[in-house]
Amino acid sequence: MTIRRLSFFLVLLGLLTVGLLGLGRKQMMTESPAVPSSAPVSAAPVNQAPDRTDALLTLVNAAHPLPDHWQPDLTVVENGHQVDRRCAAALEAMLADCRAAGLSPVVCSSYRSPEKQAALYNNLVEKLCRRGSSPAQAAQDAAGEVAVPGTSEHQLGLAVDIVDASYQLLDHDQAHTAVQQWLLEHCWEYGFILRYPTDKQAVTGIIYEPWHYRYVGRDHAKAIQAAGLCLEEYLR
């Protein structure tokens, strides 16, 4: 009898334990419904306006010339290129990690003095004139490829042009290189954005440049990347 009673109590205890576990699982499912791992994640909207007083967001384009007071704190990075000190460490880290991935990024343009920007712009105007454009038309067309002096991000010291060592032409095919594919995926992690995306020319006024990266800081870059915006749209 003692053995039978012990067996009965053990069976009863097992049933009670199973019941309690089942009730616990049901309650957990009710309070915290599971989300399939394959559920799509939508881009995060920009919920509040960015701080326009942040110097890293300084907008420079045809309608917003370089501020008169702007004085970049320049430092040398690689191959004699200069950038504003605020983006130097992030740029070096991005290039190092890109190389660690087996790729070969090359900085081909960085800070430009007013004189250098003027020379680049004027040279393109003259080139277009030699091809038959009127001076006025040449000046207008040149502005879509090389910013008018005083309206170039390169004068901020926060912008760099990066190309793949295996293909160093500044054209649309640059976007298909391994370096640009890596940068497009990872640049925001270091505070950079692709400044002139393929579908934003009507907003930026500049042709698609898959080599031109602008430093805005990691938080801003993350928000811009998530929302699929260009800098002009982000600042509105």
**Residue 80 is part of a domain; what is its CATH number?**
3.30.1380.10
145 and 194 in a single domain? The answer is no
For residue 13, being part of any structural domain is answered with: no
The residue range of the domain holding 129 is 114-151
66 and 144 in a single domain? The answer is no
173 and 224 in a single domain? The answer is yes
105 and 120 in a single domain? The answer is no
Reply yes or no on whether 209 is catalytic.
Answer: yes
169 and 194 in a single domain? The answer is yes
For residue 15, being part of any structural domain is answered with: no
Instruction: Name the maximum alpha-carbon separation found in the chain.
Output: 113
128 and 99 in a single domain? The answer is no
Q: Which DSSP string corresponds to 21-70? A: HHHHHHHHHHHS----TT---PPPP--S---TT-GGG---BTTBPPPTT-
Closest C-alpha among 174, 160, 151, 171 to residue 67 = 151
222 and 124 in a single domain? The answer is no
Examine the fold and report which residue of 92, 124, 151 is the final residue of a domain before the chain moves on.
Answer: 151
Of 78, 115, 189, 209, catalytic: 209
Q: How many domains are there within the chain?
A: 2
Residue 221: per-residue pLDDT: 98
181 and 233 in a single domain? The answer is yes
For residue 195, being part of any structural domain is answered with: yes
Instruction: Point out the residues of the chain with pLDDT beneath 50.
Output: 1-44
140 and 194 in a single domain? The answer is no
Residue 144: per-residue pLDDT: 85
136 and 215 in a single domain? The answer is no
Residue 230: per-residue pLDDT: 98
Q: What's the whole-model pTM score?
A: 0.77
For residue 197, being part of any structural domain is answered with: yes
125 and 206 in a single domain? The answer is no
Residue 47: per-residue pLDDT: 58
